[in-house]
Structure 1
């Protein structure tokens, strides 16, 4: 009789754990329609035995990018606060790289993204991590979208692996993103470089998670086709198309009509394209804090468009 009671207790315990791990929790701030669609999809994955993978873009998808990308603010902040106080050759070379980036102006372009890595070259991984973390605490604390944090919490309950992809330097983002989203730093993938003798180099390890490079990063490093992919911009199109389940698009632009260079998005705004494709469109509040001064503004880097909810 005692053995039966023990066995029954274990069964009830395991059942309770399973039920808890597969219970959807309503995401405050999103409509009933969005929540119902998410819950229905997640419940459909309960019986799956293979890896369940969800992949999300970072800036603008998991946290705010208004008025500037954190990757830019971290670099320009470091230049103003540290490099401009020095006169050594290495510091002058880094400031020259920033001047080149400013003249380039296209802070979502491949050359600009690579120059972020070149700017940080010579620093230790720990130094870069600190630059990113300090910038986050100073200028971006509180800008992670609560809805996305709740979504990621739901995904964990349904036994999903959650990965974050960013075109920004990986070492710059890993600590604060992992901390805010409750993930391992291993699951934060960005632009990588070779590390030699304890210091970073300007040698970039492809693919860079930018445009089609995001799709290649999934194949190269995650090695599984995701059930869920989330993004916010034209640059996430290739990555979103890697999903064989649900596509989630956060604050998509509905003003700029894309051209022939944007392939299948030609003639559409980002929003109208993904509406046509049946993606789940969601809103998160992303506006500038008028009390916050940004170094990036002073360097005259273009500002991102606000998305008030």
Structure 2
């Protein structure tokens, strides 16, 4: 009788083991099962299968991730824009002329809706005023000091680095576990993102490709410094992302993640390469847990992180995977 019970218990354990093991080894536990998750798994399987037609040597496996709206929240304004606006407000007492000069007057009024309509020229003026005239080291210190105190003005949560998407962190870790180098390729400031990329994403500073302003080498009594100048050096957005990948990485990715029209060329460049490739776009269609905007598929329009219908149409035509935040992600934020 005892042996019979023991046999029954052991059999039950072994029969249940595959299910338990599967749950423990799911590399993307925050993703719902479906074609989007499977597309990522299939890509990794193809490029890591030695002898297969899609095999890529570990040193050549590259994955690129846009940041704003792809790996963390970008509404109502980009994280770096929040930093710039906060810094401008703190600098305002030394610049009384800003009260009657645009775009500074709008910033000081606190009208976030109006700020959301700023042009590229407006933002360039704000960046020039708040990001330049200091050394690269001093700028890094300013960002590092601001991040822990930062708050998203709509979600009323902070710091902004806590509003990172858990499914994307899992995707990065899964790709690295399979021999990929993961890069952040962002329209945001390269130096800004490099201050926290390792801690937040596990991405070293040298694997951040972003927009940058010009710097000037100066020799001081304390030694050489790189001074930040109020002019643009490189804009890593739109076609700039394809150029940036070639300039700073020197190889075409096998997989690229984006979320907006500014990522179109990065996905085109990635998926045009030979062999197995995959492009993915995050669609913000979850108003309950995050935000809902497009205007693709009838979602509300947005100047911040625009996902146009033409981008959606191209995604369907080219076979890019569209990640529905509502349907594909069990959870959104890395920190509840």
Tell me the SS of whatever aligns to 1:29: coil
In structure 2, what is the Cα distance between the partners aligned to 1:183 and 1:101? 36
Structure 2: gaps (5+ residues): 1-23, 51-55, 108-113, 152-159, 219-224, 272-276, 285-292, 299-307, 327-336
Aligned with residue 53 of structure 1, among 62, 84, 94: 62
8 Å Cα contact 1:54-1:226 kept in structure 2? yes
User: By how many angstroms is 1:145 displaced?
Assistant: 0.3
Q: Give the structure-1-normalised TM-score.
A: 0.70
Aligned with residue 67 of structure 1, among 53, 76, 92: 76
- Per-residue deviation, residues 110-135 of structure 1 (Å, max 9, x unmatched): 53454354221112223322333344
Q: How does 1:159-174 map to 2 (within 5 A)?
A: 159-174=179-194
> Are the structure 2 counterparts of residues 83 and 247 from structure 1 closer, same or farther at C-alpha, using a change threshold of 3 Å?
same
Tell me the equivalent position of 1:99.
104
Q: How does 1:76-87 map to 2 (within 5 A)?
A: 76-80=85-89, 82-86=90-94
> Are the structure 2 counterparts of residues 213 and 96 from structure 1 closer, same or farther at C-alpha, using a change threshold of 3 Å?
farther
Structure 1: gaps (5+ residues): 1-22, 259-266, 286-309
User: By how many angstroms is 1:37 displaced?
Assistant: 2.2
8 Å Cα contact 2:92-2:98 kept in structure 1? no
Q: How does 1:166-185 map to 2 (within 5 A)?
A: 166-185=186-205
Tell me the equivalent position of 1:298.
none
Tell me the equivalent position of 1:111.
121
- Per-residue deviation, residues 275-300 of structure 1 (Å, max 9, x unmatched): 33221222347xxxxxxxxxxxxxxx
Bigger mean CA deviation after superposition, 221-230 or 112-121: 112-121
How many correspondences in the alignment? 251
Matched, 1:248 2:271: no
Matched, 1:131 2:142: yes
Q: Give the structure-2-normalised TM-score.
A: 0.65
> Are the structure 2 counterparts of residues 66 and 42 from structure 1 closer, same or farther at C-alpha, using a change threshold of 3 Å?
same
Tell me the SS of whatever aligns to 2:210: strand
8 Å Cα contact 1:178-1:188 kept in structure 2? no
Aligned with residue 274 of structure 1, among 295, 315, 318: 315
Aligned with residue 161 of structure 2, among 135, 141, 158: 141
In structure 1, what is the Cα distance between the partners aligned to 2:209 and 2:99? 24
In structure 2, what is the Cα distance between the partners aligned to 1:117 and 1:243? 30
Tell me the equivalent position of 1:214.
241
